[in-house]
Structure formats: C-alpha cells, structure tokens
Structure 1
Amino acid sequence: MLHQLLLNPVPKPPPIPPSYRPLSPLNQFSYEETYRHICNLLLSLTHSRSLPKGLQLHAHILKSGLHTIPLVCHHLINFYSKTHLPLLSRQVFDETPEKTVTTWSSVISSFAQNELPWLAIEFFRRMLGSNFRPDDHIFPSATKSCAILGRHDAGQSIHCVAVKTGYDGDVFVGSSLVDMYAKCRAIWDARKMFNEMPERNVVSWSGMIYGYTQLGENEEALRLFRLALYENLDVNDFTFSSVIHVCSNSTLLELGKQIHGLCFKTSFDSSSFVGSSLISLYSKCGVIEGAYRIFDEVLVKNLGLWNAMLIACAQHTHTEKAFDLFKQMESAGVKPNFITFLGMLYACSHAGLVEKGQYYFELMKKYGIEPGDQHYASLVHLLARAGKLQDALSVIKEMPIEPTECVWGAFLTGCRIHGNTEMAAYAADRVFELSPVGSGLHVLLSNAYAAVGRYEDAAMARKMLRDQGVKKETGLSWVEEGNKVHTFAAGDTRHAKSKEIYQKLQELGEEMERAGYTADTSFVLRQVDVEEKNQTIRYHSERLAVAFGLITFPSDRPIRVMKNLRICGDCHTAIKFMSKCSGRVIIVRDNNRFHHFEDGKCSCGDYW
C-alpha cells in the first residue's frame, strides 16, 4: 500500500473543515498545499521512523482539524505501525470519523505486523460486519495473523471469504493462503492451493518449501527448491533459510556448501536471517570454524544470529567463547531472550559448571523472562549430571509449572550415570502417573536398572514400552561422502564395503589393545555372557562408520560421524584410541552434543 501512495499523486483534498486554522510553520501554505505537504511529511517520517517529529506533526494535525481526513488517518496509522506502536494506530483508527477500506487495511496490517494477530483477526471480522469488502492488501494481513496463531480453522474461513469475493485467484492473496496453510502444518491444503494458483511468486514457493521443511519432508522441500531455480524464480532470504535448514537437519554438508555459494552469488549471505541458518548448518555438520567465519562476516547481527552462535559454542564445548559472546551481546545492546538463556544453560550443563548455570538461570528472571520447561530441564540436567540429585529433585518439586517429560528425562539421565536406581524408580513412578510418555523415558529407566544388574526390572520397563505399542528407536550412524550418505546399524553387514570395514576394525582393534584399550562390557545392557558382550560392543554403528571413513577418506580429511542416539561410554573410549592409533581427527555428533577426537583426547573432557 505504501509503495502505491508513493507512486500515485495525492488525491484532491476534501472541503476545508470548519475548525481549520493554519498554524506555524505551515501557515505560509494554502489548505490544499498543507494537506499535500502533511501527507508527504508523514510518509517521510514513516520511512525514517522518526517518532518525536511524528508526534509533533500529529499534534499539529489535531489542532488544524486535518485528523478528520481518511487518507491523513491512514498515514498516521501506518506511521505508528512502523514505529511499533500499534495501540496508537488503533487510537487513531477509533477517532477517525469516516472509515474507509484504506483505514481498515492500515489498522489490520498494523496489528499483524506488531505481534497482535488476535486483534488483526477481530478487526477483520468487524470490517466484514461493517459491510466493507476486503481487498488484496487486507487478506494477506489476516492470513498472516492466522499463521502466527496457528489457527487453521480461522484461515479456512478467510479463504472462503476470498473465494466469495473473487480474490482467491490474486497472486498476493493466494500466496498468503499457501503460506498460512503451510505454517499451520496443513500441508495438503497448502499444496492444493499452490497447484491451483494461475501465477506463483516467491512467497508461495517459499511457503511450500518451509511447510515441507517443518514437517521433515526434506526431499520434497529440496525438490521444490530445485524446481523454483529451474523456473528462474528470484528466491529470497526466507527461501534460502528454509533450504539450508533442511541441509542442517539432514547434516548434508556438501549440499549446504553449494547453497551457501548460491547465497554468496546473490548477496543473501549478508542477511542475518540466512547467516543464522548457515551457522546452524556448519555447527550441526561439525564444522565449527565455518560457523565462526559466518558470524564474523555478517555485519548487522540480530538476536537470531547471536543465539545461533551461542548454541553452536555450547554444542561444541566452546564454553568460554559462549560466555564471551554473551557479554559482547549485552555490550552491543542486544537484549537476550529465552533461547539465549537456553543456550547458556546448555553450555554450562555440558561443562559441569553448576554455579555458572545457576547464575544464568537467576539472571534470566532479572531480564523478565519466565523459565520454561526446557530451562528447568537444563538446570536439572546440570545438577543431576554433577551428582547433585537431591538438589535436582528439589528444583523439580519447586517448579511453578508441571514437570514435563524432558525435565524427568534429564533427572533420569543423572540417576543412570550415578547408578541411583531408587531415585530413578521414584522419578519413573511420578512421570508414569501423569500420562503416557515417549519411548525415551522407558529406555532411560530400563538402562538405569540394567547398569546395576537389575535385569528383571529392566525387562519390565521394556515390557511397558511394548505394551504401549511403541518401539525403541534403532541406533544409527551415518557418514556423508560426496552426494551420498552411508548409514550403519550395529553389526550391519549390508554395506558394499562391509568386508573391508570389518577387516579394518580387526586390524585397528589389535593396535588399540597394544596401546592399552580394554573393552568395557558394562555398557552392554543385556544379560549375556562375556564373549557375546565383547562381540556386541565391538561392532556398534559408530565404529563401523569410523572404519568406513578410515578406508575411504584421504588422511588429511576429518571423519565426521552423525548419530541419532547417545554414544556409549565404551565407544567413546574406543574412538579416542582410534584417533590416536590412526592419527586422524574424528568428529562424532550424537543426539546430545559434539565430540572432537584427536590424538587420543576428546573435546568433552569425558564429561557428557
């Protein structure tokens, strides 16, 4: 709407209101000239976001009686919207004696753009009740509000209005509907709308790609992205961010690098939005140096970029760097949010820094941020992992919100590590009383029992899991080679290079034993004989993946292994010996954190 006002001449002014009295500094102009001049001034102040001057001009408008003119009101509403004062936009709207489609559009847009989506939808309803017909500017604001609220049902109602008024074929309205359905996870409705659109733009393409991304339909998201490039679509930073997110979640480093190159060619690499996604990509793929480089190269850093870098440092145990970044962020005047503190608690938890973690937990409250279940889970994990199980349990009991599955899971992890099965059983009883829970808690409890030889209790915990019809997630490890991902399960013999992989493990095993490695079979949580335990633990999926990397990759290339489950203690020890005996850098990402193995040492300091 704003660009139309800039391009089109200001319409002929209405009759002079009785209250009009020219005031300084505009008294040298006629009424018509004053009217046009004020509209141009409001546009200029809106672009510059100059609130003090805008308030002065608003006062002049009120004194001169020009606030009765709908177009002036529109400019005022838009001005307060762009200066993030939506309630003042509403006040201007309420005081406008003659409301038009333009003023309705302005106030609805103000609410949608300033995190008041419920008001945007309410005013859309009021507009329809006042017999005003929405246009191609109002529909996108209303659908955006539905997307923010996740109100698929309200979005469908607005879609019906668009069909009745003939705006469903408009490219802007159609694109906003696709985006709304995708963000509400109604992917089939989004795809149906997308397929029926006579014309598509970057918003419709980006909406579909994002929709498939958030549902984990990564292949379809990438297919659509390739198709968009094939059709010469000018993709934007949101499109790039969504596709990079796919590469990040799938740890497709090589493809991510190619898309990074495309971002560089189109100058989108300087976007803080894209930068955040690239930091996450390189971090999740084990290339923390690449994440640092992206962070340094983006000149304008928003909160999302700072958070992405903080979380990357936490994942890779660069704890002191995380503390330093937090101080830099505060010095730059960037106010931390709940994600920032989640990253700081995460960093403290993986380094065993109890006092530091408690400090950041209390600091969060000073910033006016109420801790959520994930913050409490991080604090409980920090205390429980450090052996302070009673303190962790006290935190759970004193939580102002109901403890969730992730909170109890953090506590159970600490109980398992420290062999306290009584407290683990107590925690299990509490959480199982609440509601059906996921497989993770059953497995944690079973492992806690098995670790101290209580195999009957462990079997009972697993039986509870089977009775719910839920299967334990299969442990997998994978390695990327060029454009192909090689996946391994424990004892896997299906790979084309299985013979060479097992031969390499045999040779390396003998060398590791000479270097002092002894298998710790306590991590085999089944009641079997010693020989079977030795055989079972020797061919865990991560070891097969490392062996594949050793026989496949050049000696100067780090071996990056990704896992969907936590690495076991014996494999952690074994891979330290593998790195020492082979002279290779081995990076393993489990479902908890990164482990950088080099010369027989791990970056986690054996604390994970």
Structure 2
Amino acid sequence: MAVTTPTSLLGRLLDHVGNRNLNGKPKIIKPDILSLLSYGRLKQALGVLFSINKPVDQSIYAHFLQLCTDRKAINEGRKVEIHLLKFQMNPSVFLLNRIIEMYAKCGSMTDALQVFDRMRKPNGGSWNAMISGFEYLGFHENVLDYFWSMYGLGIRPNQVTFACVLSACASLMALGPARQVHCLILKWGFFSNVVLSSSIVDVYGKCRAIEESKRVFGEIKNPNNISWNVIIKRCCEVGREEEALVLFFQMHRAKAKPMNFTFANVLSACASTLGIEEGCQIHALSIRHGLDVDDYITSSLVDMYSKCGFLEEARRVFDNAHTRNVITWTAILSGYSKHGFTEEARNFFDEMPQRNVVSWNAMLVGYTQLCRWEEGLDFFSKMRREACEIDHVTLGLVLNICAGLTDLELGKQVHAFVNRHGFSSYLFTCNSLLDMYGKCGSLRSMDRWFFAMAQKDIVSWNSFMSSYARHGQSEETLRIFGEMDRDVKLNEFTISTVLAACSNILSLQHGKQLHGYTIRTFLERDIVIRGALVDMYSKCRCLDYALKVFYEVCLADIVLWNSMISGCAHNKRGKEALELFELMQESGVKPDNVTFVGILVACISEGMVDIGRWFFNSMSEKHCVIPRVEHYALMVELFGRNGCMDELKDFIGALPFEPTPAMWMLVSECCRNHGDTRLGELASQRLHELDEIGLKPINSAPCETDLGLRNSLN
C-alpha cells in the first residue's frame, strides 16, 4: 500500500515532531515554528507549540510574545503565557518582562500588573515595562507613582524611564515633578542625550514655563531637528509669536529641517503679529523644502495672507492648491469676511462643496463685525435649517446680534437654548450672555446670570462692570471694581472703564488711587489709559495733573490730543487749548471733528469771536473736515454770548439746515441778555412752532451737547 506524503507545511511540521536528538530536545521544531512566526501565522504556530509537551527555547517564546504584541492579540498571548508557566514555574525575568509589555500594548494593565506582582525580583526592565505601559495607555499618575517607587527601591532609571516620566509630566502639566526629574537627569549624566533634553524642553513648554524651556534649549550643545521644532511650537502655544519667528530663522541658519507643523505654527505666528514680510519668507522656504503642497501648510498660508489683508495672495495660494479641503475653503472665506468683503465672502460660502460649523461661524462673523444684525439673524436661521450642528462660538455670535438689535426676548430664547443643550459650561458663551443682558439694559437679569456663572474671568468682570458704567451707574461701577480687584488681575480695559466712572462722579480720590496702581503695574504706558487719566483729571478740575500725564507721552494719538484740548477748553484755559492745537499740527497729527469741538469751546471760554470764526471756516477749507450740527451750535453760542447779534442773525439765516430747538433756545436766551427783541421774537415763534409738532430741545441730540457745554462754562 502506498504511503501518502503530506504536502502542506503544517503536515510536514507534524511529521517532524517525533524526530529528536539523543539528548531528547526537539530536532526540527525550533526553525519550523520560527518560520511560521516569520510569516505571521500565529495560530498555526500556537498549534505546533501546544503539540509539544516540553518547553521550547526562550527565543521561541520571545518571538511569540513579540508577534502577539504587534498584533495586539491578547488571547493568543495568554496562551503563550500558559504554555510557559506549565513547564517553568519560575520563568526568566526577561520573558516575564516581555509578557508585561505584551499585556500593556494590548491594553490590559490589569494582566500586566498581575505578572509584575508575581515576580520575585523585578529588575529595571520590569519597572520600565510597567512605566512604559502606563504611559502608553494614558495612566499618567501611575507613571509617576511607579517611577518614585522604583527610585525609592534604589533601582536606577534609564533613558527609556526618563522619557516616559517626562511625557507623563507634560500630559499632566506637572511642573514640580518635571523639575525633580530634570535634576535626576542632570545627576545621572543623561542630559547629553539630545532626545531627553528635547523632552525637557517640551515638558517645560507644555507647562507654560517658557523661560525655563528656552534656557534648557540653549544648553543643548547640538540641538537636533526635534529640539528646534519643539521649542518653536511651544513658543507659539504660549503667545510668544515673535520669539518663535526669531527661533525659526535661527533654525534655518543652523540647517535644521522644519517639520510641516512647524511651518504651520510660524505661519500662524505671522498671522497673529501681521508679519507679512516674515510670512512671505516662510512661504518661500516651504517651497524650497517641498512642503508647500502639504494641506496643513496650504491652509496656514491662506490664513496668514488673509489675516494680513493680502487677499489676492491668499486667493492665489488657494487657487494653486493641489487639493482643497474644508479647512482651506474656510480660511479664505474667513479672510473675506473679517476684512469687510461680506458679499464676496457670501458668494464664496455658497460655492463651498462642503461646510462645517467653523465655515458657518466665519460667515456669521462678517455680518456681526459690520453690524449687519438683520442679515446675520437671517443667516443664523439658514444655519439652523441646513447645518448639522452649532457650537458655543455660534451662540456667542448670535447673542452679539441680539445685543446689537437690543432684542431682549430673542436673547432670552437663546439663553434657554444654551441651558437646554449644555452650552453653559463654555465661558465664551456665558460672557456673551452677560454682554447681551447688559447692552439690552436688563441689568437685573445680568446680575442674576453673573452670580450664577460657574466660572468667571477678566472678560466676565469687565462686561459686568462696563454695563453699569454704560448706563450711568458710576457708583455701582466703583463698587463692582472693589470686588473685582480681589478676584482677577486687572487689565487696560478695566482701568479705563473705572477712570471714566471716576470722571462722571468727579471722584478725584479714586482716580488718583487708580493712577498710582497704573504706575505700579506699568499700565500707565497704555495710550488708552493715558487718555482716560487726562479726561478724569480734566473733569475733576485738576488740569495741571492732566497736562503732566499728557506731556509724558512720547507719541500721542488723535484721541489723546482731543482729550487734552477739550480738557483745557472746559477748564476755561482756552489759550492753552489753542497752543496744544498748534503743537498737534507740528507733530503731524491731523485734527478731526472732535478736535474742532474742543477748539470752538476754547474760543467761547475766552470770548475769541474772530479766532473762532477763522477756525470754523478753516475746518472745510484747510483741514477737509465737514462741520457738523454741534459745530454750528457752538458758533451760535460763540456769536450769541459775545453780543454779535447781527452776525448771529446772518449765521442763523445761512445755516444749511433748519436750526435745532436747542439753537433757538440759545438764540432766545442771548437776545434777552443783549436786548435784541426782533430776533428774540423770531426765536420764540420758532420754538412755539416746533413745540406744537412735538419737537422739544430735550429730545434733540445737539441740545444735549450744547447744554453740556454751557453748563461747563457757567
């Protein structure tokens, strides 16, 4: 009878099971199992393994465990462990370490921990296997616990240990432990390892200790590509964009290779700092490195050019892109939207092949920035019908629209939506709600919401306080400021708002205290705060203080000049106001309509009719500033108070518009004071006619301006 020869690989292997050497060890099985493992036939190799009732070589088990680790085949790994323990009660530490690694990579630290706890004498490799496993699975606290236990037992960590522990510190943002580990790395001489040094740079950067991160980077003798990329990325993350750009160009000179995310980060830094020149150079370098085709970099280039206002360049990059994803489309859309090209942005939006919530928000930003509230609301309705989702940014923008429309009822509906869908955990949305209630005049609702907020930042407090200031409740503004000072760090907006409140109630004491605070905290250098200080001192009749603050400014802007000129005028020091006007022109600052309000008030306070007339005429003839109603009102006051009744009558008759009720009231008052009955009767008649049709001085905007000016001079 013919004997059939097995042709399958498994059949040949089984035929060789009985062939053994004289010492009883397997003769053929070792290379055959390794062949199966090398081809990745894990199940067949396990079948052969379990057909053997004796242990195989340690290298066979190691190969099995490695393949199980690579495949994340935990069940097969358990079978290998069972076979090993069946024949060896005390396996080698080497194999037990491989088993721990296998369980960790397969996601079962419970099994790994059981193996580790059964070990009689775990070595450094055992501890490293556990620490690496915990870090791999994201159990960062366990990494630190096991590291300090290992260190307490006197087992010396190696580079792998330190790398895992530094990674855990970075994930936990644990700055204190990171510093301790850094000291141990220096103590045991591992700092020369550039990988560990780069990890230290990284962990300090993630913990926002950027100065320490930069110091460690500077101590690396030969930083590699990773070192450079890490320090640049961390500088960008903490808002040190200019330093990131300097480091990037140093990196280029050092001939280190930037990664794609590095290019994206520095391009974002250029966008934040509006550094178009640096952005163009980085664009050229990305082309040289062949990374300009990267989708991530393309999106960053479009975003950078858009934010810097170079929309044609942004569009050129977009049009030349090899592929266009939703991020790239959204970047160019956002550029059009933010720079006021709303119609182009909308056309672009309608052409988008796909959209996400960021795309919708970018379009909504365009409407809100231009105060096109109704269109923004219509667009939001379209978004609710067509978009699959909205986010906290969407709700914040919609609340801005409610505030712009002063639509309190709609704002309350949005508030209800926020509560129902869990958006009240987003601080941005909470602050938008606060701002909406304040601008809609519902201070009671704003109060309730402010104290119901789970967390508050400087924006929350500023919004809360400025709402009271906006509604003229200056005493309440100062009270809130007292509470705020204990809770958050004040910024420029806070100080300028409180100084404005001090100006309104003439609280010189509080104003001086704030001035001292700005000096101690170096906020006095801010041009907005300087203007608020000038305004506060001027209104509190401390003009010398105001002038001192003003003259300390190196480069004053038009707002500060106007504040100082107005301050001098309202304090009856009109000649100094005129001198300041001359200085302003010499410094190259062009006057605007507000400047001439202050100048005309100064002329009224000094009784300088001819000079006031000259300045009024020069507004349009010399300075290209079109006179407004308030300028005409001030000229009426200038002529009337100085008894120039004929000139007043001619001026009233030549007005390019019907005189306002406030003007007629002023004319009537001046006629009584100077005995001009004819013009006075005309003024009384016109006031009577205006009163019959419901136009009263108190309802006239110019009236409020004029009365305020007169009261300041009396």
TM-score range, shorter chain: 0.5 to 0.7
Give the CA deviation at 1:138: 2.8
Give the CA deviation at 1:105: 1.5
Q: How does 1:508-527 map onto structure 2 within 5 Å?
A: none
Distance verdict in 2 for CA 1:269–1:25, change over 3 Å: closer
Q: Indicate yes or no: 2:438 matched with 1:215.
A: no
Q: How does 1:350-429 map onto structure 2 within 5 Å?
A: 350-365=605-620, 371-429=627-685
Aligned partners of 2:458 and 2:410: how far apart in 1?
Answer: 24
Distance verdict in 2 for CA 1:44–1:233, change over 3 Å: same
Give the CA deviation at 1:336: 4.3
Aligned partners of 1:252 and 1:590: how far apart in 2?
Answer: 22
Give the CA deviation at 1:77: 3.8
Give the CA deviation at 1:179: 1.8
Aligned partners of 2:349 and 2:359: how far apart in 1?
Answer: 7
Distance verdict in 2 for CA 1:255–1:111, change over 3 Å: same
Distance verdict in 2 for CA 1:181–1:70, change over 3 Å: same
**In structure 2, what is the equivalent of residue 34 of structure 1?**
294
Aligned partners of 1:152 and 1:389: how far apart in 2?
Answer: 50
Q: Which has the larger radius of gyration?
A: 2
Q: How does 1:131-146 map onto structure 2 within 5 Å?
A: 131-146=387-402
2:525 to 233, 254, 270: 270
**In structure 1, what is the equivalent of residue 495 of structure 2?**
240
Secondary structure of the corresponding residue to residue 592 of structure 1: helix
Distance verdict in 2 for CA 1:148–1:426, change over 3 Å: same
2:458 to 169, 185, 202: 202
1:33-90 Cα shifts (integer Å, max 9, x gaps): 432222333454466x3x44x5224223224465x53212332344456656555544
**In structure 2, what is the equivalent of residue 56 of structure 1?**
313
State the number of aligned residues. 431
Give the CA deviation at 1:256: 0.7
Q: Give, as a single letter, the amino acid of the residue that structure 1 aligns with 2:490.
A: V
**In structure 2, what is the equivalent of residue 293 of structure 1?**
548
Give the CA deviation at 1:7: 5.2
Q: Give, as a single letter, the amino acid of the residue that structure 2 aligns with 1:34.
A: D
- 8 Å contact from structure 2 (residues 662, 697) kept in 1: no
Aligned partners of 2:551 and 2:337: how far apart in 1?
Answer: 32
**In structure 2, what is the equivalent of residue 109 of structure 1?**
365
Distance verdict in 2 for CA 1:91–1:335, change over 3 Å: farther
Secondary structure of the corresponding residue to residue 423 of structure 2: coil
Aligned partners of 2:596 and 2:414: how far apart in 1?
Answer: 38
**In structure 1, what is the equivalent of residue 426 of structure 2?**
170
Distance verdict in 2 for CA 1:79–1:217, change over 3 Å: same
Aligned partners of 2:591 and 2:373: how far apart in 1?
Answer: 23
Q: How does 1:572-583 map onto structure 2 within 5 Å?
A: none
Distance verdict in 2 for CA 1:257–1:383, change over 3 Å: same
Aligned partners of 1:187 and 1:357: how far apart in 2?
Answer: 43
Q: Give, as a single letter, the amino acid of the residue that structure 1 aligns with 2:501.
A: V
- 8 Å contact from structure 1 (residues 278, 294) kept in 2: yes
Aligned partners of 1:290 and 1:81: how far apart in 2?
Answer: 44
- 8 Å contact from structure 1 (residues 374, 407) kept in 2: no
Give the CA deviation at 1:272: 2.1
State the Cα RMSD in Å: 3.9
Distance verdict in 2 for CA 1:189–1:590, change over 3 Å: same
Aligned partners of 1:204 and 1:135: how far apart in 2?
Answer: 20
2:712 to 588, 592, 606: 592
Q: Give, as a single letter, the amino acid of the residue that structure 2 aligns with 1:61.
A: F
Q: Give, as a single letter, the amino acid of the residue that structure 2 aligns with 1:176.
A: S
Aligned partners of 2:591 and 2:402: how far apart in 1?
Answer: 27
Indicate the structure whose relative CO is greater, using CA pairs within 8 Å and at least 6 residues apart: 1
**In structure 2, what is the equivalent of residue 181 of structure 1?**
437
The structure in which a higher percent of residues are strand is 1
In structure 1, list runs of 5 or more residues that go unmatched.
Answer: 14-22, 442-564, 567-588, 594-607
Aligned partners of 1:146 and 1:58: how far apart in 2?
Answer: 33
- 8 Å contact from structure 2 (residues 305, 314) kept in 1: no
- 8 Å contact from structure 1 (residues 77, 110) kept in 2: no
TM-score w.r.t. length of structure 2: 0.53
- 8 Å contact from structure 2 (residues 403, 439) kept in 1: yes
- 8 Å contact from structure 1 (residues 108, 120) kept in 2: yes
Distance verdict in 2 for CA 1:592–1:74, change over 3 Å: same
Distance verdict in 2 for CA 1:207–1:113, change over 3 Å: same
Give the CA deviation at 1:189: 2.7
Aligned partners of 1:85 and 1:298: how far apart in 2?
Answer: 36
- 8 Å contact from structure 1 (residues 342, 375) kept in 2: yes
**In structure 2, what is the equivalent of residue 283 of structure 1?**
538
Secondary structure of the corresponding residue to residue 134 of structure 1: coil
1:561-589 Cα shifts (integer Å, max 9, x gaps): xxxx99xxxxxxxxxxxxxxxxxxxxxx9
Aligned partners of 1:112 and 1:407: how far apart in 2?
Answer: 37
Aligned partners of 1:156 and 1:362: how far apart in 2?
Answer: 51
Aligned partners of 1:374 and 1:7: how far apart in 2?
Answer: 49
- 8 Å contact from structure 2 (residues 302, 317) kept in 1: no
Identity, % of aligned positions: 27
Secondary structure of the corresponding residue to residue 485 of structure 2: helix
Give the CA deviation at 1:373: 3.3
- 8 Å contact from structure 1 (residues 385, 413) kept in 2: no
Give the CA deviation at 1:334: 5.0
The structure in which a higher percent of residues are helix is 2
Give the CA deviation at 1:202: 1.9
Q: Indicate yes or no: 2:193 matched with 1:193.
A: no
Aligned partners of 1:73 and 1:439: how far apart in 2?
Answer: 54
Q: Which is further off, 392-401 or 137-146?
A: 392-401
- 8 Å contact from structure 1 (residues 256, 281) kept in 2: yes
Give the CA deviation at 1:309: 1.6
- 8 Å contact from structure 1 (residues 270, 297) kept in 2: no
Give the CA deviation at 1:217: 2.0
- 8 Å contact from structure 1 (residues 109, 138) kept in 2: no
In structure 2, list runs of 5 or more residues that go unmatched.
Answer: 1-232, 239-259, 265-282, 700-706
Aligned partners of 1:426 and 1:240: how far apart in 2?
Answer: 49
- 8 Å contact from structure 2 (residues 546, 564) kept in 1: yes
Q: Which is further off, 324-333 or 162-171?
A: 324-333
**In structure 2, what is the equivalent of residue 532 of structure 1?**
none
Distance verdict in 2 for CA 1:223–1:333, change over 3 Å: same
1:126-151 Cα shifts (integer Å, max 9, x gaps): 32343354322233334334445545
**In structure 1, what is the equivalent of residue 567 of structure 2?**
312
Give the CA deviation at 1:218: 2.2
